[in-house]
C-alpha cells in the first residue's frame, strides 16, 4: 500500500500524555512501556504517547496511519518505538489523555485483531525552547507524533 | 386476620439511600474489566462473594461498584389466623448488573432457603415476585411464569430468575441523563387462598445516560447505566504503583496548610471521601476547556516559581530526581488550581508537589480509568471523592 488510510489532528496534552484508543474499549492502567521506548505505553485497545516536553499545556500534532503491511522505516524522528496489541473494535481515535472529544476523524484501522504499532516522536525539545522564551505560550503542532498500525498474525 | 409481608414488607424506603459505611480498601477496588454484555446468569464467584458479605445482608443490599449491586438476606411473610401467626422466613440472593453499553439493568433473584412454622403458610404456599420501576423506565419479565411458584419450587430451582429494566433514551441535558427507582415486591398466597399484603422492598436507584453520543466523551460506550446508590470515589493506595500521588493527596486533604504553594497558609482543599454526601467533592470538567486551561496555567506558574509563586513558602525548584509536578485537585476538575470565587479571585485551595514520574503516570492512568469505569459525567452530574488507603 503506497498511501495508507490516515487521520490527523492536534490534541491537548493532559498529564504529559495523549492517547490513541480503540473506540470500543481500553484501560490505561493496563498499559506498560515498550522495550526501549518508555514514552510508548500500550495495552490492548490503547496506545499512550508521552510527551518529551515538560509543557503542561500544548497541542501536539498527531497522525495515525493504517497499513496493510509493515511500512518502510521513516527517518527524521527523534524517537521510535514498536509494540503489538489487540484492537477489539478496529476503529481508533486520537484523544486527550483524561478523556474528552475525539480529535479529528476516527480511523478504521481494520477488523478486530492483532496489530503492530510503530510510534514516532519529535519536537519536544523545541516546545521547551519555545517556552523558555515565552512561558505563557501555548505551542500548537510543534511536538509531533506519527503512529503506524499494520495487522500481524495471532 | 392480620396479614403482613416482610419480603418485602419493609416499607418503601427513603427516596435516596446513600451508604455511609467506611471507605473501601484498595483490595476492594474493582480491577478494570472489558465492557461486557449483560450476563445471562450471574457470575458464580460474585454470587459466592455476595452470599458471604455481611454488608450485603441488609435491607438495602450493597452497591459493590457502579456496575454491580447485590443482596443476600432473609425476609418474611406472615398471616395471623385466630390469634396464631403463620410465618415463612425466606432467604434469597438478588443481584443487579448495570449495562455498560446500553440503557438497561438486569436483575437476578434466587431463593436460597425458607423456613415455615407449620401454620397455613407451608412449602406449598405460592410466592409471587415482581420488579417495579419508576420514572421513564420499563420492566420486562414480570409476566413470566417463573416469577410465581410454590416456596418448595423456588428453593429447589437452583438457577436465578431475571428481569430487565429498560431506560427510555431521554433525560436531562445533552447526555440525556435519567434517574430511576426500582424495587422488588412480593406476596405469599396459601393453598387456602389466604394472601399476605403485597410487600414492597426498599427503593434502589439507577442512572442511565447516552453520554457517549455527545462530544466530550470520546471512547465511551454510547449509552450505559450505573447503580446510583453510592458516592463515587477513586482509591489511591500509599503502597501501590501511585504511592507518591497518594501521599501527596493525603497531605492535601488532611494537612492542607503543609502544602505548596503558600505553605503555612490555611487552605480548604475539597475532595476527601468520608461517606457524607454533604462534604465538598470534585466535579469533572472537559480536558481542554477554559477551566482546564486555567488550572494548567496556574500549575505551570507554581511549578516554575513564576510570580507570585516565588517566595520561600512556595514550591521548591525541581530536584534532580526524575519527578513531575503533581497537582491536586486534579486539573480535570472544576476545583483545580485555577478555581476562582464569584469575584474572580483565585481560591488558592490546591496543592502542587514533586512526585516520582512513574508514580505520577500511574496515578493519572488510574484517574483516567476511574472516569470511564464509574462513568463520571461532567459538570454537576457526578460529584466524586478521593479515598486514600494504606
Residue B310 contacts A, CB cutoff 8 Å: no
Domain boundary pick from B227, B246, B278: B227
**B357 and B214 both lie in a single domain:** no
**B179 and B290 both lie in a single domain:** no
**B197 and B74 both lie in a single domain:** yes
pLDDT reading at B35 higher than 80 = no
Domain boundary pick from B227, B247, B273: B227
Which residue in B287, B300, B365 is closest to A96 by CB distance?
B287
pLDDT reading at A99 higher than 90 = no
Subunit contact B368:A28, Cβ cutoff 8 A: yes
Distance CA(B167)–CA(B102), nearest Å, equals 9
Taking the CA of residue A72 and the nearest CA in chain B, the distance in Å comes to 30
**B223 and B327 both lie in a single domain:** no
> Confidence class of residue B82 from pLDDT cuts 50, 70 and 90?
confident
**B150 and B13 both lie in a single domain:** yes
Taking the CA of residue A28 and the nearest CA in chain B, the distance in Å comes to 5
pLDDT reading at B16 higher than 70 = no
**B177 and B222 both lie in a single domain:** yes
> Confidence class of residue B2 from pLDDT cuts 50, 70 and 90?
very low
What would the DSSP string read from start to end of B172-239? Answer: BTTTTBEEEEEEEEEEEE-TTS-BPPPEE---EEEEEE-GGGSTT-TTS-S-EEEE-SS--EEEEETT
Q: Which chain B residue has its CA at the smallest distance from A29's CA?
A: B365
Taking the CA of residue B20 and the nearest CA in chain A, the distance in Å comes to 28
Calculate Rg over the CA atoms of chain A: 15
Q: Which chain B residue has its CA at the smallest distance from A94's CA?
A: B218
Written in H, E and C, the secondary structure of A16-54 is CEEEEEECCCCCHHHCEEECCEEEEEEECCEEEEECCCC
Q: Of the candidates B13, B9, B10, which has an alpha carbon nearest to the alpha carbon of residue B203?
A: B13
Q: How many pairs of residues across A and B have Cβ atoms under 8 Å apart?
A: 96
Report, as an integer, the average pLDDT of A58-62: 97
SS3 A149: strand
pLDDT in tens, B349-363: 999 999 999 999 999
Which class would CATH give A5-151?
mainly beta
Subunit contact A99:B218, Cβ cutoff 8 A: yes
* Residues across chain B: 390
> Confidence class of residue B40 from pLDDT cuts 50, 70 and 90?
very high
SS3 B51: helix
**B145 and B248 both lie in a single domain:** no
**B105 and B132 both lie in a single domain:** yes
Report, as an integer, the average pLDDT of B125-153: 95
* Residues across chain A: 154
Q: Which of A31, A96, A99 to mutate to test the interface with B (most CBs of B within 10 A)?
A: A99
Domains identified in chain B, total number:
2
Taking the CA of residue B245 and the nearest CA in chain A, the distance in Å comes to 13
> Confidence class of residue A1 from pLDDT cuts 50, 70 and 90?
low
Residue B361 contacts A, CB cutoff 8 Å: yes
Residue B365 contacts A, CB cutoff 8 Å: yes
**B122 and B241 both lie in a single domain:** no
Distance CA(B267)–CA(B385), nearest Å, equals 18
Distance CA(A21)–CA(A106), nearest Å, equals 10
What are the extents of the domains in chain A?
5-151
pLDDT in tens, B368-390: 999 998 999 999 999 999 999 99
Chain A residues closer than 8 Å to B304 by CB: 135
Residue B258 contacts A, CB cutoff 8 Å: no
Q: Of the candidates B68, B59, B54, which has an alpha carbon nearest to the alpha carbon of residue B22?
A: B54
Percent of chain B whose predicted confidence (pLDDT) is above 70: 91
**B219 and B307 both lie in a single domain:** no
**B241 and B366 both lie in a single domain:** yes
Q: Are B196 and B79 in contact (CB under 8 A)?
A: yes
**B192 and B240 both lie in a single domain:** no
Grid cell for residue A144: 509531533
Angle of the B357-373 helix axis to the B243-254 helix axis, nearest 10: 80
Q: Which chain A residue has its CA at the smallest distance from B372's CA?
A: A99
Distance CA(B358)–CA(B132), nearest Å, equals 49
Residue B380 contacts A, CB cutoff 8 Å: no
Q: Are B245 and B257 in contact (CB under 8 A)?
A: no
CA dihedral B353, B355, B357, B358 (to 10 degrees): -140
Subunit contact B324:A96, Cβ cutoff 8 A: no
Report, as an integer, the average pLDDT of B161-173: 96
Taking the CA of residue B134 and the nearest CA in chain A, the distance in Å comes to 31
Domain boundary pick from B168, B199, B227: B227
pLDDT in tens, B233-281: 999 999 999 999 999 999 999 999 999 999 999 999 999 999 999 999 9
> Confidence class of residue A98 from pLDDT cuts 50, 70 and 90?
confident
Chain A residues closer than 8 Å to B323 by CB: none
Residue B216 contacts A, CB cutoff 8 Å: yes
> Confidence class of residue A29 from pLDDT cuts 50, 70 and 90?
confident
Q: Of the candidates B267, B246, B248, which has an alpha carbon nearest to the alpha carbon of residue B313?
A: B267
pLDDT reading at A107 higher than 80 = yes
pLDDT higher for A128 or B219?
A128
Domain region containing B143: 2-227
Amino acid at each position: 500500500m503506497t498511501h495508507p488510510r490516515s487521520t490527523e489532528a492536534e490534541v491537548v496534552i493532559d498529564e504529559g500524555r495523549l492517547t490513541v484508543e480503540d473506540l470500543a474499549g481500553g484501560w490505561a492502567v493496563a498499559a506498560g512501556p515498550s522495550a526501549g521506548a518508555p514514552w510508548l505505553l500500550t495495552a490492548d485497545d490503547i496506545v499512550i504517547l508521552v510527551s518529551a516536553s515538560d509543557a503542561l499545556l500544548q497541542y501536539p500534532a498527531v497522525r495515525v496511519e493504517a497499513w496493510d503491511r509493515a511500512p518502510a522505516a521513516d527517518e527524521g524522528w527523534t524517537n521510535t518505538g514498536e509494540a503489538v496489541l489487540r484492537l477489539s473494535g478496529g476503529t481508533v481515535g486520537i484523544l486527550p489523555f483524561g478523556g474528552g472529544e475525539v480529535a479529528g476523524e476516527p480511523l478504521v484501522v481494520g477488523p478486530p485483531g492483532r496489530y503492530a504499532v510503530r510510534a514516532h516522536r519529535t519536537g519536544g525539545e523545541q516546545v521547551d525552547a519555545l517556552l523558555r522564551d515565552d512561558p505563557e505560550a501555548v505551542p500548537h503542532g510543534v511536538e509531533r507524533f506519527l503512529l503506524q498500525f499494520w495487522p500481524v498474525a495471532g | 386476620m392480620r396479614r403482613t409481608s416482610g419480603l418485602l414488607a419493609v416499607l418503601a424506603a427513603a427516596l435516596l439511600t446513600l451508604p455511609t459505611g467506611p471507605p473501601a480498601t484498595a483490595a476492594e477496588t474493582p480491577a478494570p474489566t472489558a465492557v461486557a454484555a449483560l450476563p445471562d446468569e450471574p457470575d458464580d464467584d460474585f454470587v459466592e462473594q455476595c452470599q458471604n458479605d455481611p454488608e450485603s445482608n441488609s435491607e438495602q443490599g450493597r452497591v459493590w461498584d457502579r456496575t454491580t449491586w447485590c443482596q443476600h438476606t432473609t425476609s418474611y411473610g406472615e398471616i395471623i389466623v385466630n390469634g396464631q401467626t403463620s410465618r415463612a422466613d425466606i432467604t434469597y440472593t438478588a443481584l443487579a448488573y448495570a449495562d455498560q453499553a446500553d440503557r438497561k439493568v438486569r436483575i437476578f433473584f434466587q431463593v436460597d432457603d425458607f423456613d415455615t412454622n407449620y401454620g397455613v403458610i407451608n412449602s406449598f404456599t405460592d410466592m409471587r415476585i415482581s420488579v417495579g420501576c419508576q420514572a421513564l423506565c420499563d420492566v420486562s419479565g414480570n409476566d413470566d411464569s417463573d416469577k410465581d411458584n410454590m416456596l418448595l419450587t423456588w428453593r429447589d430451582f437452583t438457577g436465578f430468575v431475571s428481569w430487565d429494566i429498560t431506560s427510555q433514551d431521554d433525560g436531562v441535558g445533552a447526555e440525556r441523563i435519567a434517574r430511576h427507582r426500582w424495587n422488588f415486591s412480593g406476596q405469599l398466597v396459601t393453598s387456602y387462598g389466604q394472601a399476605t399484603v403485597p410487600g414492597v422492598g426498599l427503593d434502589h436507584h439507577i442512572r442511565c445516560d447516552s453520554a457517549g453520543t455527545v462530544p466530550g466523551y470520546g471512547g465511551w460506550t454510547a449509552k450505559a447505566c450505573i447503580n446510583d446508590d453510592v458516592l463515587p470515589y477513586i482509591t489511591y493506595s500509599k503502597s501501590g504503583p501511585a504511592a507518591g500521588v497518594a501521599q501527596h493527596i493525603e497531605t492535601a486533604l488532611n494537612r492542607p496548610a503543609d502544602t505548596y504553594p503558600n505553605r503555612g497558609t490555611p487552605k480548604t482543599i475539597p475532595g476527601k471521601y468520608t461517606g457524607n454526601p454533604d462534604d465538598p467533592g470534585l466535579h469533572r470538567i472537559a480536558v481542554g476547556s477554559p477551566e482546564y486551561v486555567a488550572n494548567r496555567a496556574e500549575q505551570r506558574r507554581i511549578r516554575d516559581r513564576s510570580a507570585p509563586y516565588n517566595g520561600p513558602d512556595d514550591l521548591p525548584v525541581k530536584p534532580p530526581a526524575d519527578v513531575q509536578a503533581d497537582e491536586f485537585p486534579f486539573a480535570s476538575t472544576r476545583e483545580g488550581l485555577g478555581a476562582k470565587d464569584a469575584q474572580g479571585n483565585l481560591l488558592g485551595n490546591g496543592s502542587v508537589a514533586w512526585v516520582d514520574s512513574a508514580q505520577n503516570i500511574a496515578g493519572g492512568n488510574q484517574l483516567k480509568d476511574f472516569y470511564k469505569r464509574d462513568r463520571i459525567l461532567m459538570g454537576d452530574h457526578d460529584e466524586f471523592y478521593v479515598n486514600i488507603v494504606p
